[in-house]
Every structure is written in structure tokens, then in C-alpha cells.
Copies of this chain bind each other. A is one copy, B any other.
Amino acid sequence: MKTKPARIATIQPRLRIRVGDEVALGPGKAELLQWVKQTGSISEAARKMGMSYMRAWKLIQIMNQCFREPVVLTSRGGKDKGGAEITKLGRKSLKLYQKMENDSLRVCERSWQQLEQLLKL
């Protein structure tokens, strides 16, 4: 006999930063940047996120065009389609983005506790 699992309520603060018509940084691009930082490779980062290399590469191109300087530098060649390195500006941007996400979550805590009480769980 199966028992009905309890429903879990979650809150996700998702910050979207736009420059003109482009999304310079959002949840997906920030995660991609984090994976490039960790793996030093666009293809590895793409694999971790279950997206194609081409898609990851395009997202990085958009980010690079939205910031004053590139957030990721790539070198061509090699079996990994070339290595990738997050720049100093990339690290700084990611850190600020993650700080804003964490700050948002923290500032919402009390209201979220109240709202959670109103949900059917």
C-alpha cells in the first residue's frame, strides 16, 4: 500500500538582471558560471547542467557581451574543446549575485513562515 507523500513547500528567490533586451545574469547563467569556475571547462559545466555545449557557449557569449569585460575566457583546441576560465570580473559578479540571492532568502524568512502557514501541505 502506497502512502501519500507529504507535500513540501519551498521558496526560491530568482534574480534576473537585464541589460537592454538581454538577460545578463539569472539563475541559469549564474549556475553555469559557478560550474565553469569549479570545472574550468564549458563542456563539463554544460554536462553538469544537462545542457548542450552549444547552449552553454551561447549563454556565456551573452554574459560576455553584457559585462564591461568578459566573465569567462576560453582557449581553443584540445579534446575538451578548449579550457575555460572565469575572470576576476566574473568571480566578482557571481559573488555579488549569490550574495543578493542569499540576502533575499534571509530577508524573506519571516514573511515566508507566515505564508507557509496558509498553504495546503
Where the two chains meet, the residues of A that have a C-beta atom closer than 8 Å to any C-beta of B are 7-20, 24-25, 65-68, 89, 92-93, 96-97, 99-100, 103-104, 106-108, 111-112, 114-115, 118-121
Contact = CB atoms under 8 A, between A and B. Distances in A.
B119 A13 contact: no
Question: For chain A, what secondary structure do more than half of its interface residues adopt (helix, strand, loop), or is it mixed?
Answer: mixed
Given A19-B121, A107-B107, 15 more contacts: A7-B20, A9-B24, A11-B17, A11-B100, A13-B15, A15-B108, A17-B119, A66-B119, A67-B119, A93-B118, A96-B115, A96-B118, A100-B111, A103-B107, A104-B104
Return the 4 tightest CB-CB contacts between A and B, nearest first: A7-B20, A104-B104, A107-B107, A100-B108
